[in-house]
Amino acid sequence: MSLLREQSIFLQHVVELLHKADELGFQASGGELYRTPEQQALHVQNGRSQTMSSQHLKRLAIDLNFFREGLDGQARLTYDVEELRPLGQYWESLDAANRWGGNWNSFKDTPHFERREGSALAAPVIAVTATPPSSRRGSGLITGNVGASCSNQRDDVETVQRLLNLCSQQQRFALPEGQLTPDGAYGAKTLAAVMAFQRSVIGEQEPSGRVEPVSATLASLCESLPASVDGTLLALLYLRASDDDLALFGERLGKVMANRQIDTPLRQAHFLAQIGHESGEFRFHAEIASGEAYQGRIDLGNLQPGDGRRFKGRGLIQLTGRANYAEYGRAIGREDELLSKPELVETDADLCVDVAGWFWAKRGLNAIADADDLSTLTKRINGGLNGLDDRRRLLNRSKSLLGIS
């Protein structure tokens, strides 16, 4: 996709965000959109930024000021993370390429909304021309080069940062300045860590400091990937997930996959890709919409007043409609409870994960995963092909982490 097309999509999403802000009672004023390289250098120099690869340089980021009307009738500027979170969630729900600064690990930049070009597309399959490593795990895990004067896509940088931390935790080498903050911002600490790894582990006397999609450095970094699906692997798969959600769902997900015979790398890759998309990489435990659109849907069993909102989509694969809540409730012996308290599928972490495994098994999706048929799987889950590019992106990433060529 061309940069101009990315910029056009970005601005369309900004318009949608402003409409959503108005719906939620915010007033907005414009901030910074474009930043010259000279201005970015000043931001780095004075500590306002840690990287020279800002999306502002590409007109793919904007800072917006949001105001609420106070009790005195005066507009009040807010930077509060929780107050602005509905806007951040909405922005990121528009496209897998969208990122909100309020979700960053390093610092909370709540006025910042950006698009990472290429993130919504399927990761390319990269042919290995060098001597193939003993394991293909990690092939295609990054899509561009990471290093000085490189593209340094945020997802690629964060992937490398997490892999370096993992290798250090396994005592394969020592990080010169301690654990890296996996924020996707390329800077001096990440460069020093890459060079230390290349010097200590790869044996390069004059390390380049670059990590390329097909390289001995990436292959060696990926030797530290965990042997099974756990929180560490999920953190590398779902870069947008919070540490709290990774801890909440990681172990539970392993148990559900084992109980539902999602027990081969290919089945796991498809399952993780689908629930990753449906849940926005663990960020959404219920659909953002109110559910009013489901009111009166006979096929969902929504025959009583308020059923649409009451039985809206919840869980990592969103359970929707009175009839489906009742069927799942019967399957686990809690039908009356779920019909009276359907929100439990969102708030109870065990149910939130388990319902995804139940749905998967009920629909016989292991057989479709065995055939590696992404389109049919998506239709069985979604009813159409909504979000297919993002599901494919997550599937390719899952396959890379699990060593599926």
Q: Over the stretch 372-388, which tens digit does the pLDDT of each residue have? A: 999 999 999 988 999 99
Contact between residue 108 and residue 88 where contact means Cβ atoms under 8 Å apart:
no
Do 19 and 106 belong together in one domain? Answer: yes
CATH number of the domain bearing residue 350: 1.10.530.10
Which tokens sit at 54?
């800002």
154: pLDDT strictly greater than 70:
yes
Per the structure, how many domains does the chain have? 3
Residue 405 has pLDDT above 50, yes or no: yes
Print the domain residue range for 157: 121-225
Please identify, among 203, 225, 247, the residue that sits at the C-terminal boundary of a domain: 225
Q: What is the pTM of this model?
A: 0.68
> Which of 225, 248, 271 is the last residue in one of the domains?
225
Contact between 403 and 137 (Cβ < 8 Å) = yes
73, 206: one domain: no
Does 149 share its domain with 297?
no
Same domain, 298 and 163: no
154 and 55, same domain (yes or no): no
Beta carbons of 177 and 195 less than 8 angstroms apart? no
- 62 plus 179 within the same structural domain: no
Domain final position from 185, 203, 225: 225
Q: Domain check: are 268 and 339 in the same one?
A: yes
Residue 389 and residue 302 share a domain:
yes
| Predicted local confidence at residue 31, as pLDDT | 86
What is the distance, to the nearest Å, from the Cα of residue 241 to the centroid of all Cα atoms in its chain? Answer: 6
Q: Do residues 369 and 256 share a domain?
A: yes
Mark whether 184 and 287 lie in a shared domain. Answer: no
Whether residue 98 is found in the same domain as residue 216: no
CATH number at residue 205: 1.10.101
Cα four-point dihedral sign 175, 238, 17, 143: positive
| CATH number of domain containing 50 | 3.30.1380.10
3-class secondary structure for the chain?
CCHHHHHHHHHHHHHHHHHHHHHCCCEEEECCCCCCHHHHHHHHHCCCCCCCCCHHHHCCEEEEEEEEECCCCCEEEECCHHHHHHHHHHHHHHCCCEEEHHHCCCCCCCCEEEECCCCCCCCCCCCCCCCCCCCCCCCCCCCCCECCCCCCCHHHHHHHHHHHHHHHHCCCCCCCCCCCCCCCCCCHHHHHHHHHHHHHHHCCCCCCCCECCCCHHHHHHHHHCCCCCCHHHHHHHCCCCCHHHHHHHHHHHHHHHHHCCCCCHHHHHHHHHHHHHHCCCCCCCECCCCCHHHCCCHHHCCCCCCHHHHCCCECCCCECCHHHHHHHHHHCCCHHHHHHCCCHHHHCHHHHHHHHHHHHHHCCHHHHHHCCCHHHHHHHHHCCCCCHHHHHHHHHHHHHHHCCC
Give pLDDT, residue 155. Answer: 95
Q: Is the pLDDT of residue 141 over 60?
A: yes
Q: Which tens digit of pLDDT belongs to each residue from 162-189?
A: 999 999 999 999 999 999 999 999 999 9
pLDDT at 51: 65
Say if residue 234 is in the same domain as residue 309: yes
